[in-house]
């Protein structure tokens, strides 16, 4: 070690605590002041182009979260398949990307970020998750973002669900396509879940709707022939 260089342990002792300026701390604790600070930091340290991107991303995250919370309203009424005629409510005024993200947030959270089929759960340090919030009734024909029209599925099982390689019966049991057992396929991991009950949300009000599952079952059967 070079003479006079502090050891790692001594350095660690020196930085074991830090003090935040009292005024700064008070500003960080206040919602309005926090926003001013945020804008100040962005304008100070980023180009105006990057700064506006950061603001957009932040705005997108906040709008998606608000939209996800607003979906709770739908849970107060019986499940309906068709939402294409919804006029003037949040459905029509929020842009599609915000809706997709908000729906996915709500569904993934309901299943604790776990695949309803294989129970896979992976969250990266950045908060990205293995599971998607999958629609049971297709969004393009029903406009249905009711959380009961969702299932949290990992990428593999989302793909299989969308391609009718598997379906979930209204008794919440899994039904697999015979195609998965064909010699050329290797779907052992999925086959072991055949006929088992899927993982359900902790909150029964968020269970997948029977009407939506029946509709998927019907399309699944048609795809098998
Ligand atoms: Zn899975």
How many angstroms separate the alpha carbon of residue 156 from the centre of ligand 1?
Answer: 6
How many angstroms separate the alpha carbon of residue 80 from the centre of ligand 1?
Answer: 27
pLDDT digits (tens, 9 = 90+) for 112-169: 999 999 999 999 988 889 999 999 999 989 999 999 999 999 999 999 999 999 999 9
How many angstroms separate the alpha carbon of residue 202 from the centre of ligand 1?
Answer: 18
b vs e for 39-57, b when ≥16 Cβ sit within 10 Å of the residue's Cβ? eeebeeeeeeeebeeeeee
Residues within 5 A (CB) of ion ligand 1: 115, 117-118, 120, 154, 157
Report the candidate in 91, 87, 111, 107 with the shortest Cα–Cα distance to residue 99.
Answer: 91
pTM of the model: 0.76
Q: What are phi and psi of 166, to 5 degrees?
A: -155, 155
For the cut 80, the answer to whether the pLDDT of residue 201 exceeds it is yes
Q: Chain-wide mean pLDDT for the chain?
A: 88
pLDDT digits (tens, 9 = 90+) for 13-65: 666 677 888 888 998 899 889 888 888 888 888 888 888 888 888 888 888 88
Spatial distance between the Cα atoms of 151 and 132, rounded to a whole number of angstroms? 8
Q: How far is CA 119 from the centre of its chain?
A: 15
Domain locations along the chain: 50-224
How many angstroms separate the alpha carbon of residue 159 from the centre of ligand 1?
Answer: 10
């Amino acid at each position: 070690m070079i003479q006079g260089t502090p050891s790692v342990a001594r350095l660690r002792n020196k930085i074991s605590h830090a003090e935040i300026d009292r005024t700064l701390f008070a500003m960080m604790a206040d919602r309005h002041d926090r926003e001013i600070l945020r804008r100040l930091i962005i304008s100070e340290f980023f180009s105006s182009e990057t700064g506006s991107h950061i603001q957009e991303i932040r705005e997108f995250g906040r709008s998606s979260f608000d939209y996800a919370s607003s979906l709770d309203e739908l849970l107060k009424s019986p499940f309906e398949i068709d939402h294409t005629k919804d006029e003037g409510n949040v459905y029509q005024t929020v842009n599609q990307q915000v809706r997709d993200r908000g729906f996915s947030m709500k569904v993934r959270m309901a299943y604790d970020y776990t695949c309803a089929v294989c129970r896979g759960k992976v969250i990266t340090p950045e908060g990205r998750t293995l599971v998607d919030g999958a629609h049971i009734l297709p969004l393009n024909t029903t406009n249905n973002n009711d959380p009961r029209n969702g299932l949290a599925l990992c990428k593999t099982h989302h793909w299989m669900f969308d391609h009718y390689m598997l379906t979930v019966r209204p008794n919440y049991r899994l039904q697999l396509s015979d195609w998965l057992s064909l010699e050329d396929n290797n779907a052992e991991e999925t086959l072991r879940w055949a006929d088992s009950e899927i993982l359900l949300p902790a909150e029964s009000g968020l269970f997948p709707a029977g009407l939506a599952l029946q509709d998927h079952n019907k399309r699944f059967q048609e795809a098998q022939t």
